[in-house]
């Protein structure tokens, strides 16, 4: 197993190195190293950049991390070189984080780690020749968001509302049916497995992953009804609060969002179709519940 802050091309990393890294990241290994982590939590927009840069540096990935005017919270720019048989070689260009991100620092840092996980593909070979762009992005964003929660958790940042809730709702219960992710009971546990797979430097065959995932029979609404509906109904204010944490523009609209979530769970119970707003609220609640309550199966 390779250490998280080691380059993916290293020949051998001992378990002791792995343990030492985890202690370093938690700020418990030595006062000097702990201080270097804590310094990234300054109350300005440089902290998320510093955390992201540190992660990339220790992975041996030399790309810029900048802030700019974005609609999304972050993006990773990259290009590929075509190889034989539909394979591509990845070259990362840079990471850009939204300069006007109005969320709390913990969410900003998680986004930086999300983009850094994308960037771990630098120099790797991928295959996505037989699926659409949307199908490829669904898989990549799902694995990346799960891993971002795992990596943030190592920094003591936990209990965050996930992004890409619609993709997580559709793929996470499928993922745990695959051999590589069997036994995972939360988004964070899936993220740990996904991180270790990516850190190994293996070829990423999105075509094969897509075939395996969609061979699993699954309906997200039936899944909620069977596993998480009571949890969401009993803690509806909690789930609305987490949604607003990750989308501060909705602050002050707690009542409206609570009503939307209530209608969604009611319509789901009696079998009525859900509108787009109800689907959004339920997907976000499910994504959060899969990490808070666990028990993914």
Q: What pLDDT sits at residue 218? A: 96
The answer to whether residue 265 is domain-embedded is yes
Q: Is 158 in the same domain as 245?
A: no
Query: Residue 201 phi/psi, 5° resolution?
Result: 80, 10
Q: What pLDDT sits at residue 56? A: 95
Q: How many domains are contained in the chain?
A: 2
Q: What pLDDT sits at residue 293? A: 84
Q: Is 84 in the same domain as 136?
A: yes
Q: Which of 162, 185, 213 is the last residue of a domain?
A: 213
For 186-220, the pLDDT digits (tens) are 999 999 999 999 999 999 999 999 999 999 999 99
Mean pLDDT of 248-262: 97
Q: What is the pTM of this model?
A: 0.84
Give the tokens for residue 285.
């609640």
Mean pLDDT of 11-34: 40
Q: Is 144 in the same domain as 246?
A: no
The answer to whether residue 8 is domain-embedded is no
Q: Which of 146, 180, 213 is the last residue of a domain?
A: 213
The answer to whether residue 81 is domain-embedded is yes
The answer to whether residue 112 is domain-embedded is yes
Q: What pLDDT sits at residue 27? A: 41
pLDDT, greater one: 295 or 131: 131
On average, the pLDDT of the chain sits at 87
For residue 295, name the pLDDT band (cuts at 50, 70, 90).
confident
Examine the pLDDT at 69 and tell me if it is beyond 50: yes
The answer to whether residue 139 is domain-embedded is yes
Examine the pLDDT at 12 and tell me if it is beyond 80: no
Q: Is 44 in the same domain as 123?
A: yes
Q: Is 202 in the same domain as 239?
A: no
The answer to whether residue 22 is domain-embedded is no
Q: Is 48 in the same domain as 194?
A: yes
Q: Is 68 in the same domain as 204?
A: yes
Q: Which of 163, 187, 213 is the last residue of a domain?
A: 213
Q: Rounded distance, CA 215 to CA 273, Å?
A: 25
Range of the domain at 164: 39-213
For residue 294, name the pLDDT band (cuts at 50, 70, 90).
confident
Q: Is 86 in the same domain as 182?
A: yes
The answer to whether residue 167 is domain-embedded is yes
Task: Kindly give, in sequence order, each residue whose CB lies less than 8 Å from that of residue 129, ignoring residues fewer than 6 positions away.
Answer: 86, 87, 207
The Cβ of residue 202 has, within 10 Å, a number of other Cβ atoms equal to: 11
Q: What pLDDT sits at residue 24? A: 39
Mean pLDDT of 73-89: 97
Taking each helix axis as running N to C, give the angle between helix 165-175 and helix 187-199, from 0 to 180 degrees, rounded to the nearest 10: 80
Q: Is 135 in the same domain as 261?
A: no
Q: Is 201 in the same domain as 74?
A: yes
Q: Is 43 in the same domain as 177?
A: yes
The answer to whether residue 150 is domain-embedded is yes
Give the tokens for residue 63.
């790309």
For residue 10, name the pLDDT band (cuts at 50, 70, 90).
very low
Q: Is 150 in the same domain as 255?
A: no
pLDDT above 90 covers a percentage of the chain that reads 81
Strand 87-98 relative to strand 125-127, pairing = antiparallel
């Amino acid at each position: 197993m390779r250490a998280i802050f080691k380059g993916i091309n290293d020949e051998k990393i001992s378990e002791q190195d792995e343990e030492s890294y985890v202690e370093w990241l938690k700020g418990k290994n030595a006062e000097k190293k702990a201080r270097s982590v804590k310094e990234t939590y300054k109350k300005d927009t440089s902290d998320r950049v510093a955390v992201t840069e540190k992660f990339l540096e220790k992975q041996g990935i030399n790309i810029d991390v900048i802030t700019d005017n974005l609609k999304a919270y972050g993006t990773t720019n990259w290009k590929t070189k075509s190889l034989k048989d539909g394979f591509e070689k990845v070259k990362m260009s840079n990471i850009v984080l939204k300069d006007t991100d109005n969320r709390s620092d913990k969410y900003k840092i998680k986004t930086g780690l999300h983009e850094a996980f994308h960037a771990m593909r630098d120099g790797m070979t991928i295959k996505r020749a037989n699926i659409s762009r949307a199908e490829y992005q669904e898989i990549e964003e799902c694995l990346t968001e799960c891993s971002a929660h795992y990596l943030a958790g190592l920094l003591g940042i936990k209990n965050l509302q996930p992004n890409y809730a619609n993709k997580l709702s559709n793929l996470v219960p499928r993922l745990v049916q695959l051999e590589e992710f069997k036994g995972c009971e939360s988004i964070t546990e899936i993220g740990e497995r996904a991180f270790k797979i990516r850190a190994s430097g293996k070829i990423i065959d999105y075509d094969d992953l897509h075939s395996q995932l969609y061979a699993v029979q699954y309906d997200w609404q039936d899944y909620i009804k069977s596993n998480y509906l009571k949890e969401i109904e009993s803690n509806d204010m909690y789930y609305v609060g987490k949604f607003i944490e990750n989308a501060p523009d909705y602050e002050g609209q707690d009542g409206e969002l609570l009503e939307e979530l209530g209608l969604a769970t009611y319509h789901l119970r009696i079998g009525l179709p859900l509108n787009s707003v109800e689907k959004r609220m339920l997907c976000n609640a499910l994504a959060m519940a899969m990490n808070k309550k666990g028990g993914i199966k």
